[in-house]
Amino acid sequence: MPRAALLVLLPALLAGGCSTQPQQAASRPPEPATSTGDLLPRAALPASPAKLSAPDDLWERIRRQLTLHTMHNAQIGAARDHYLEQARYLELIAPRAQRYLYHLVEAVEARGLPIELALLPLVESALNPFAYSNQRAAGLWQIMPGTADDLGMRRDWWFDARLDVEASTRHALDYLEKLNGDFDGDWLLTLAAYNGGGARVRRAIARNQARGLATDYWSLDLPRETRRYVPRLIALSTIVGFADGLDVDLPPVPNEPAFAAVDTGGQIELLRVAQLAGMDLLELRRYNPGHLRWATAPGDEHRLLLPTARVPAAAEALADLPPVERVTWEHYRIRRGDSLIRIAQRFDTGVDLLRGVNNVRGNLIRAGDTLMIPGGGDWARSLALAREGSTGVRRGYTVRRGDSLYEIARRFDVTIDDIVTWNDLDPRRYLQPGQALTLFLDGG
């Protein structure tokens, strides 16, 4: 499974040199062919950490369960140094860790899986659930469309489960568990298969077997990206495990839930929910990135994630919301011979409303296109909400002399890793005047 185009996914703020080795691991010899990837599941870890009181900080909770952080070889050392060279990245990634990381840790621990898997979305997407790669992988776990379909993940006009924090985590861990079974419990081979595909890893193993060579991860001839992928996760665990020794200032992340689900009681506009919860629409979308439109998806499941402090008031307000203030939306595919007048009559609505909701000029519509049809409730208010709640404006930008990723990110209120991911950039290379970039800006 290809990850997002982002190459640099966890830096640190160092006071000393970037190549400083953790004191605890400095005496370990390189072990490129002897580390087989036998990570211990949480249930098999020594009992002593479990006897400690629960830490206030989530990084400490992770640190107590790490099993890979003392592994070292040249590839891991290079990946670690590369992370440490990236200044200010922790500052940018901190809000995402505070928002999503607790859920990842809880999900991994609940299955008794290696805690390092909770760090995998930092490698995949820099903890950005909106991330897309140039190969169409998406979400925290960078799941490809074909893989999503194989896993039975919902992907339609309304909703993409690859972007949903809960759904993507559940399916990604299902997939990792399956791969781990395919590779006889070897977690390094499992991770390689998650990145490069199980068939590719099996072919590499078969080639080595035919030549009488070792078949562990470090001995296989794998694509360049997959050869870098596993060392990145191990290096990341080293940085978390030896943060103090490396003079790394990990952003504090409370060891408590950041969000909880609330029942919306039916399909509803996201902006309406944000208003009832007393929060910003953009922040609501950050907790619910799987919802692709201004309203929640129709269907049997009506729930949204909200910051835990917002849940009680929002739940009460939603429960008291009268039906007349709810607006349902139907997704209608235009048929040959249809006209706006006929469609408006069929759904007992107005032509002007159809034009406004669907941004149609005049009367020209095409068979095969889709229209949003509002039904019930206050249509005029719903139209205003639809317009106000639109987000994700795509914008082109041409690099000017003197521009940097930092300056562009600050100017458009996005992060450096967003720009890198959207444009498949190597952040180690300088931008060139005249270079074309694509930005996705929030318009809500």
Active-site residue set: 124
Q: What Rg value do the Cα atoms of the chain yield, rounded?
A: 24
User: In which residue are the tokens 């809500």 written?
Assistant: 444
The answer to whether residues 404 and 362 touch, using CB atoms and an 8 Å cutoff, is: no
CB atoms within 10 A of CB 15: 9
The answer to whether residues 136 and 148 touch, using CB atoms and an 8 Å cutoff, is: no
User: In which residue are the tokens 């998406």 written?
Assistant: 138
The answer to whether residues 130 and 291 touch, using CB atoms and an 8 Å cutoff, is: no
C-alpha 10/C-alpha 344 separation (Å) is 53
C-alpha 434/C-alpha 399 separation (Å) is 5
The answer to whether residues 25 and 238 touch, using CB atoms and an 8 Å cutoff, is: yes
> What are the CA-CA distances from residue 282 to residues 15, 98, 122, 274 (Å)?
35, 16, 22, 9
Residue type, 39: L
The answer to whether residues 105 and 98 touch, using CB atoms and an 8 Å cutoff, is: no
The answer to whether residues 277 and 306 touch, using CB atoms and an 8 Å cutoff, is: yes
> How many residues can be counted in the chain?
444
